[in-house]
Structure 1
Amino acid sequence: MRKLFPPIVLGGLLAMASLSPAQSQTPPGLQARIDALAGEAETHGFELGMLQTLRAVEKALQTRYEYGVGQNLRMVPVFRVGTGADINPNPKPAAPDTLSRIVETFLADLDRARATLSASGAEAQPFELTLQDLWFDLNADGERADGEGAVELLAPIVLGRAGRIALQDGTLAAPITIRFDAADHAWLTAYTQMLGGFGNLFLAFDPTAALVDMARARASLLNAPEIENFYDLDQVTADIAALDARKRDLEARLKQVEEQLPDVRERQRQIVEGMHTATDETAKQALKTELDAVLEELRPLSEAQDALFLEQQMIRAELQAAEAKLPGRDTLALPGMETEFDTLLVVLNALRQQPDKDRLAAARDSWRAMIAENRRFWAALAAETDDDREWIPNPSQTSALPVTLPAGVAEAWQAILADAEAVLDGRLLVPHPLLPPGYGIDLSAYVEDPAPIDILEWIHGKGAYPYAAKGPRISAQSWRAFERLTAGNAGGFALYFN
């Protein structure tokens, strides 16, 4: 599922049309460009729709910054974009429904962008954009800052390690200008449908109630009784001081031993090497005698090192346990894990509630529309005869990006989409390793009559029984063929193609 999340960032990269470097040192922000084009929707509807799409992403990121939410949800759409430097040091208090309101606003903004794209028509007016001009105003201060450029934000996500290297070596510094044409209009429309599907899926299992329950439970800790300290804190402090002194002494003694070992081991290595090359038996015997002496010298040092290291570890553990007796100290807590476990519990509880059937159906319909628009894109692309700074080229074209499409990869990608459509329609079943042979899960049946998801029961298979059917199950062959054609870079091309 993770492979389906990053496409939002690629949509963002492409949607952000603005002025070229020759026109402005600092290209205007998204909203300013949208306002400038608002009165020209008839002639610039395609460009405006792109801007509105990315503005939807930007608004979600700005709200995330405003409330400091979603930092531990970077594997999901929208919240994935960011460098870590976009964390608000003074966020507003978030309500349990803040995340859901972000997604609801995002969906409404996508609907607006899609309406603009639809009004611009299939023969949309082409336009150009330079990728290095694109930027997200993550903290909504109206100024472009380091870390807000779309290329620097998105390259590591879309391209992984290759993207990080390209940023470091300057490969992505040179301006790259794309000319988006009518075929790309279908490409972008497909992206809005894909993102809308994920938004509706999120709201189908709206976590607000689970977050309310979490907040209520956490608040109850304020009323927890306080027990008088059992320990003699003066004695605890003295024990800690003594253990700390012992730890420092062990560290010094261990350092002395370790400083002696390299010289002795080097002499051992040289003698052994000499024994291997010596041809005279007398010389070999002399070397063996010398080696025995070195081993006798090495043995107590090694034993001392092992003993000191073991005692050092035990003293450290005892010191940590002693410090745990101090008020407010909890050495069992794992830094950062509290929020991770909070997130896990909220997700599990959200899945256990009755899902919103209409939202699930809307997600399915969005993904069906995504596939239909994607097919329209490939058909329009195949009919193109020009070759002008292409985004995704057909076999007779070249991309403005430093990328080459392997032969047959377009057809292989459409085979993957055909499998996905068959799963959405219930013509292919989703395999489950613990269902009986020949059985699979009918996803369309679940959408028509959804029930709460108990993760343990679904792992076992029992939770899937009401939606089980006999029939053909989706195979990984189409994806494996795509992997082969892309030389193992299937994920990157999947983000590229949508």
Structure 2
Amino acid sequence: MSGSNASNNSAGATGESVMRISGLMAAALMLPVAASASETGQLLTSHLYAGTLGEGQAALVAGKDAGEAEACFGWSMLQLAASFEGLAQDLYRYGATTPGTPAAAMLLGVGMVEDAVPANPDPEALSYAALRSVIGDFRDDIALAQISFECGGDANATYVVPVDVLAARIDFNGDGQTSDGETLGAFLAPLLGEFEEMPAAPALDEKSKSKGVAAAPDSTVGFDTADAIWLAGYTQVIKLQLDLVLAHDFEDFFNAYLHRVFPLSGLPMQDYSQGGFLLMDPDSDAGIADIIAAIHTLNFPVIDKPLLASIPAQLKHVTALSRQNWDLILAETDDDRELLPGPTQSSLFGAAEVNAEMVAAWRETLDVLDQVFDGQLLVPHWRFAQGFDLKAYFETAERTDLVMLLTGQGALPYLKDGPIADADSFAAANTAFGDAFFNYAFWFN
């Protein structure tokens, strides 16, 4: 999508600021909340900052089960933290790392990692079945958080839980301890950089103020009912992506490429990450070969058709939650360190403003997306005059061959006549957001 240069100038100028939000939003997604004057807030603070997530959930479960919105929210945030903690520990157990070959740097446009070795020097052997279990466990944990976040978004509830998300502690390696290096801030430091555009912490009173010492940026966010729904939407996005993976058999891809992610875990190609010379050097040539093998195996049989068929409804649940989120935001009368501000509220991120035109354009975009998910508006395919029926694909596909879908052969069963989404379908979003549309979409959810 693209708008005219004139319409892009204002929104485009904010794109860089919106990108800075990504890190803090990752923090909000990966981990919980913090202190409040309420008892719930105090429980969250003590357990979140100590890394005692299970104890905190036990203290809040009665209120959650009774449907108390703030308790639902607090329990969900701790559950979200526990979900990512469990995933991190599983990945550590199996020695996960980021592929850092010259080939990956060249072909994927990423920075070169000189020594991509796992943090765990003695990982366990990983089977395909074990990896599916890791993904399935994470999916189930996220689903529990998602359901309770919706309870926390009760429109009749009024709470604000201020939280310094970067101070949260999580046991990444499963050793039963949470060290100073296992805070979310330390983990995300390379991504976050310095929050230069965030307002500083409140000034000290005159008696305690230190001359010449600048106040540090304050990464506290005031979480409220709107943010509970925002998080319900984002956890729903995570869950449906995991469902999409689990609906398919990806064992061939696992065998062909994932030794690059789990280099010491006993995968079939583990001992062949460096081969002979072919084009560049042994490391690069083997890396290129593995990338080609990965592309060749992007052909996944569907093994859970009902799960795949559930994806359109799950996508529509995301758009419904986004509408609910904006209903709550627009009804707010406060301005308390908002994660996602309304047009009359202040942004924590400087130039990344939100105005009424953007909100209206986003709501219109949600309506267009629902038409796509319902199969009423078709997805354009570069090769065909007909459109691609996304709903029909999810409901009837026997396999997902990404290469054949892209080239066209795999798309044939899902082509049909009808209206096709184009730039005009998203004209309001193009005008309101310009080149920053996708950055704002990530922020708005």
In the superposition, the TM-score normalised over structure 2's length comes to 0.70
**What SS does the corresponding residue of 2:162 show, helix, strand or coil?**
strand
Match status 1:330 vs 2:276: yes
Q: Could you say which residue in structure 2 is the equivalent of 1:289?
A: none
Q: Could you say which residue in structure 2 is the equivalent of 1:144?
A: 179
Q: Does the 8 A contact of 1:387 with 1:397 survive in 2?
A: yes
Q: Could you say which residue in structure 1 is the equivalent of 2:394?
A: 447
- Candidates 314, 317, 320, aligned match of 1:366: 314
Quote how far apart the aligned CAs of 1:343 are: 6.1
Instruction: Describe the superposition over 1:122-168 as per-residue Cα deviations: whole angstroms up to 9, x where unpaired.
Output: 1456222123323443223322343x4434545765xxxxx436479
Quote how far apart the aligned CAs of 1:361 are: 1.9
Question: What percent identity do the matched residue pairs reach?
Answer: 27
**What SS does the corresponding residue of 1:186 show, helix, strand or coil?**
helix
Match status 1:27 vs 2:49: yes
Q: Does the 8 A contact of 2:220 with 2:337 survive in 1?
A: yes
Instruction: Name the CA shift for 1:24/1:464 in 2 (closer, same or farther; >3 Å).
Output: closer
> Residue 417 of structure 1 aligns to which amino acid in structure 2?
L
Task: Give the alignment of 1:256-335 within 5 angstroms.
Answer: 330-332=276-278, 333-335=281-283
**What SS does the corresponding residue of 1:453 show, helix, strand or coil?**
strand
Quote how far apart the aligned CAs of 1:469 are: 0.7
Distance 1:339 1:331 in 2: 12
Distance 1:340 1:58 in 2: 33
Task: Give the alignment of 1:9-408 within 5 angstroms.
Answer: 10=25, 12-14=27-29, 15-19=31-35, 27-29=49-51, 30-41=53-64, 42=66, 43=68, 44-69=71-96, 71-72=98-99, 87-120=119-152, 122=154, 123-124=156-157, 126=159, 127-141=161-175, 142-146=177-181, 148-151=182-185, 153-154=187-188, 157=191, 163-164=192-193, 166=195, 173-208=216-251, 210-211=253-254, 330-332=276-278, 333-335=281-283, 338=286, 341-342=289-290, 345-346=293-294, 348-349=296-297, 351-402=299-350, 403-408=352-357
**What SS does the corresponding residue of 2:299 show, helix, strand or coil?**
helix
Q: Could you say which residue in structure 2 is the equivalent of 1:468?
A: 415
Q: Does the 8 A contact of 1:391 with 1:401 survive in 2?
A: no
**What SS does the corresponding residue of 2:174 show, helix, strand or coil?**
coil
Distance 2:188 2:424 in 1: 30
Distance 2:34 2:48 in 1: 10
In the superposition, the TM-score normalised over structure 1's length comes to 0.64
Distance 1:493 1:33 in 2: 33
Match status 1:432 vs 2:381: yes
Distance 1:17 1:154 in 2: 16
Instruction: Describe the superposition over 1:190-215 as per-residue Cα deviations: whole angstroms up to 9, x where unpaired.
Output: 11211111011111223135535889
Uncovered stretches (5+) of structure 2, i.e. residues with no partner: 1-20, 37-41, 105-115, 202-215, 259-265
Instruction: Describe the superposition over 1:366-423 as per-residue Cα deviations: whole angstroms up to 9, x where unpaired.
Output: 2111111111111121122222232222222223454422441122222332222211
Segment drifting more, 463-472 vs 175-184: 175-184
Distance 1:378 1:400 in 2: 18
Quote how far apart the aligned CAs of 1:431 are: 0.8
Q: Does the 8 A contact of 1:135 with 1:149 survive in 2?
A: yes
Q: Which structure's relative contact order is higher, taking Cα pairs within 8 Å and 6+ residues apart? A: 2
Instruction: Name the CA shift for 1:467/1:36 in 2 (closer, same or farther; >3 Å).
Output: same
> Residue 143 of structure 1 aligns to which amino acid in structure 2?
T
**What's the RMSD between the two structures over aligned residues?**
4.1
Q: Does the 8 A contact of 2:256 with 2:290 survive in 1?
A: no
Instruction: Describe the superposition over 1:444-488 as per-residue Cα deviations: whole angstroms up to 9, x where unpaired.
Output: 111121032344432331221111011111124566754653463
Distance 2:427 2:120 in 1: 42
Instruction: Name the CA shift for 1:88/1:425 in 2 (closer, same or farther; >3 Å).
Output: same
Distance 2:72 2:269 in 1: 53
Higher helix share: 1
Q: Does the 8 A contact of 2:153 with 2:226 survive in 1?
A: no
Instruction: Describe the superposition over 1:73-92 as per-residue Cα deviations: whole angstroms up to 9, x where unpaired.
Output: 99xxxxxxxxx897323222
Asked which structure has the greater CA Rg, the reply is: 1
Instruction: Describe the superposition over 1:316-338 as per-residue Cα deviations: whole angstroms up to 9, x where unpaired.
Output: xxxxxxxxxxxx98333542664
Distance 1:444 1:358 in 2: 13
Q: Does the 8 A contact of 1:355 with 1:450 survive in 2?
A: no
Distance 1:95 1:51 in 2: 30
Distance 1:50 1:489 in 2: 29
**What SS does the corresponding residue of 2:380 show, helix, strand or coil?**
coil
Distance 1:144 1:221 in 2: 32
Distance 2:117 2:349 in 1: 28
Distance 1:380 1:170 in 2: 24
Distance 1:489 1:86 in 2: 36
